[in-house]
């Protein structure tokens, strides 16, 4: 564990040029998604920061006012802060920014979606597990050429089908190539999610 730009994080070197940026869900930490990252791509380097917001002691990447109701000012600030961390960590660990793939779960997927929408060019690829629309930017130009997999659960009580389609449409409007998948699951990840993500990754 080390700190860089105030983000507690884990970095696990890889044997391929690819890096997975692992972004945990509410109440998680920098170690939470390491096993998931290793199962998605055992050769990739893993970069895993801990969210800097605490909600009743539970780390998150940005503040929320209620379930699914986000503090948009905080979200924008935290999006910039995380984007700066990603750029700095990429330099410090000599990673290839073109080979960076965000893998976010729930709150981590939401901040990854926010980076895709507000800071095009930082994340060339992203896997968003159980993601929602984090915010709708005031201006949206189709300059984000990212490849994005949105992996939702068809019985998710937190993320509705409509919400998932709205996120896919918004990212497409922003210029991303989006694949939307619904697993036979709820908000928790299932083996089907891992299979779909592995197959999606294999095309790059």
CB of 107 to ligand MLT, least distance (A): 3
Residue closer to ligand MLT by CB (options 63, 119) is 63
CB of 70 to ligand MLT, least distance (A): 7
CA angle 186, 48, 39 (to 5 degrees): 60
Q: Is 25 in the site for ligand MLT (CB under 6 A)?
A: yes
Q: Is 99 in the site for ligand MLT (CB under 6 A)?
A: no
Helix/strand/coil (H/E/C) assignment for every residue in the chain: CEEECCEEEEEECCCCCCEEEEECCCCCCCCCCHHHHHHHCCCCEEEEECCCEEECCEEECCCEEECCEECHHHHHHHHHHHHHHHHHHHHHCCCCHHHEEEEEECHHHHHHHHHHHHCCCCCCEEEEECCCCCCCCCCCCCCCCCEEEEEEECCCCCCCHHHHHHHHHHHHHCCCEEEEEEECCCCCCCHHHHHHHHHHHHCC
Residue closer to ligand MLT by CB (options 113, 146) is 113
Catalytic positions, written as ranges: 106, 156, 187
Residue closer to ligand MLT by CB (options 107, 144) is 107
List the one residue from 106, 117, 147, 176 that touches ligand MLT (CB under 6 A). Answer: 106
Q: Is 79 in the site for ligand MLT (CB under 6 A)?
A: no
CB of 188 to ligand MLT, least distance (A): 12
Residue 189: is it exposed, middle or buried by C-beta count within 10 angstroms (0-12/13-18/19+)? buried
Residue closer to ligand MLT by CB (options 41, 152) is 152
Total binding residues toward ligand MLT, as defined by CB under 6 A: 7
Q: From the CA atom positions of the chain, what is the Rg in Å?
A: 15
Q: Is 194 in the site for ligand MLT (CB under 6 A)?
A: no
Q: Which residues 157-186 are close enough to bind ligand MLT by CB under 6 A? A: 158
Q: Is 110 in the site for ligand MLT (CB under 6 A)?
A: yes
Q: Is 107 in the site for ligand MLT (CB under 6 A)?
A: yes
Residues of the shown chain interacting with ligand MLT in the complex, contacts defined by CB under 6 A: 25-26, 64, 106-107, 110, 158
């Amino acid at each position: 564990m080390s700190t860089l730009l105030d983000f507690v994080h884990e970095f696990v070197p890889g044997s391929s040029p690819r890096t997975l940026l692992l972004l945990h869900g509410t109440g998680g930490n920098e170690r939470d998604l390491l096993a998931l990252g290793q199962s998605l791509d055992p050769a990739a380097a893993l970069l895993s920061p801990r969210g800097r917001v605490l909600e009743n002691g539970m780390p998150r990447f940005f503040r929320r006012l209620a379930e699914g109701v986000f503090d948009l000012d905080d979200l924008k600030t935290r999006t910039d802060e995380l984007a700066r961390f990603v750029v700095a960590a990429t330099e410090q660990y000599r990673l290839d920014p073109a080979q960076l793939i965000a893998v976010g779960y729930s709150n981590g997927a939401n901040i990854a979606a926010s980076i895709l929408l507000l800071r095009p060019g930082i994340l060339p690829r992203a896997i968003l597990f159980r993601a929602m629309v984090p915010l709708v930017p005031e201006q949206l130009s189709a300059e984000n050429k990212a490849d994005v997999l949105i992996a939702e659960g068809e019985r998710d009580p937190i993320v509705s089908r409509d919400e998932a389609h709205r996120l896919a449409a918004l990212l497409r409007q922003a210029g991303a190539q989006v694949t939307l998948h619904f697993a036979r699951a709820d908000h928790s990840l299932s083996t089907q999610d891992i299979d779909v993500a592995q197959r999606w990754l294999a095309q790059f």
